[in-house]
């Protein structure tokens, strides 16, 4: 209800909802809030291009667990940024260059 009531206002008040501490005691656990953000964007509750830190944090978490293919999945689902038009390509190349050997063993 808070998202619907404040949809014309700045998104800043709700950023705490997308903090890792809002869903877990682990400050590096971003899986739940990434899915939550994806669902809220899909239903049109908000549109935000300033949550790339959340996406990159989840990519980092997946890479720490050795889940390169899921990290690439998250990168491919990041919103397009006019400020960084080739961010997806650069991130995927970086992941593949660092983890290609471990990825090919799976």
Number of domains, the chain: 1
Query: Can you give the pLDDT of all 106 residues of the chain as single tens digits?
Result: 455 555 555 555 555 566 555 566 665 566 777 777 777 777 776 666 667 777 888 898 889 888 898 899 999 988 888 888 899 999 999 999 888 776 556 5
Contact 23, 33 (CB under 8 A): yes
Range of 46's domain? Answer: 2-105
Contact 74, 59 (CB under 8 A): yes
pLDDT of residue 21: 54
Q: Which pTM was predicted?
A: 0.64
């Amino acid at each position: 209800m808070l998202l619907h009531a404040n949809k014309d206002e700045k998104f800043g008040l709700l950023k705490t909802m997308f903090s890792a501490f809002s869903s877990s005691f682990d400050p590096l656990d971003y899986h739940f809030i990434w899915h939550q953000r994806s669902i809220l964007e899909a239903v049109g509750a908000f549109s935000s291009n300033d949550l790339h830190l959340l996406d990159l944090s989840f990519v980092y978490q997946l890479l720490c667990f050795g889940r390169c293919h899921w990290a690439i999945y998250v990168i491919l689902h990041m919103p397009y940024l006019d400020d960084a038009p080739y961010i997806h390509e650069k991130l995927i190349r970086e992941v593949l260059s660092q983890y290609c050997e471990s990825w090919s063993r799976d």
